[in-house]
Structure 1
Amino acid sequence: MAKANTPKRPTRDEFELEELGNQLVEAKEDGDKRAFTVWGEAEKVYGRITVLDSRTRLVHVENDGVTRKIPFLGIMKVRYG
């Protein structure tokens, strides 16, 4: 049985993951809208972080009343939107 040839998410070291975590905490605390580059999605996700769920490792991003739950490891970049 052949494996599907799908690209794998790039691996990141502890420093990169810690830096991403710090950016997400800062974004939640200041309440500003941000642009998130998410692995496997063609377009950026825009919105405000409402919940950082450490148990499920999901980041809840709200934009125009719609909440998306994005896996922490799926977030590649966080920028001001």
Structure 2
Amino acid sequence: MAKSTTPKRPTRDEFELEELGNQLVEAKDDGDERALTVWGFPEKIRGRIIVLDSRTRLVHVEENETIRIIPFLDIMKVSYE
């Protein structure tokens, strides 16, 4: 059987994930637009974080009046760009 050729998502330690979670909570509380670097997307996703669902581990981002739902573990970086 052939191996899958799709690259795996980079692994991160508990500290990095906690820091990322804190940045997302801060971004949601501020209501400011942020740029998210998402694994598997060639471009950054820019928008306001409107929902952080801890049960499903999904982040809802409002981008140009449309809502994108991104898995928490796929978010690599949060920035102000």
Short-chain TM bin: over 0.9
Deviation at 1:64, TM superposition (A): 1.6
Cα deviations across residues 4-44 of structure 1 (Å, max 9, x unaligned)? 21111110000000000000000000000000000001011
Structure 1 residue 7 and structure 2 residue 7: aligned?
A: yes
Partner of residue 29, structure 2: 29
Secondary structure of 2:20's counterpart equals: helix
Q: Deviations over 1:39-62 (max 9, x none)?
A: 001011000000000111000000
Aligned equivalent of 2:56: 56
Q: Which sections of structure 2, spanning at least 5 residues, go unmatched?
A: none
Look up the equivalent residue of 1:79 and give its one-letter code: S
Which amino acid in structure 2 is aligned with residue 53 of structure 1?
A: D
Deviation at 1:75, TM superposition (A): 0.1
Q: Aligned pair count?
A: 81
Structure 1 position 72 matched with structure 2 position 72: yes
Deviation at 1:77, TM superposition (A): 0.3
Distance 1:10 1:61 in 2: 22
> What RMSD over aligned residues (CA atoms) do the two structures have, in Å?
0.6
AA matched with 2:2: A
| TM-score when normalising by structure 2 | 0.97
**What's the TM-score once normalised by structure 1's chain length?**
0.97
**Structure 2 counterpart of 1:46:** 46
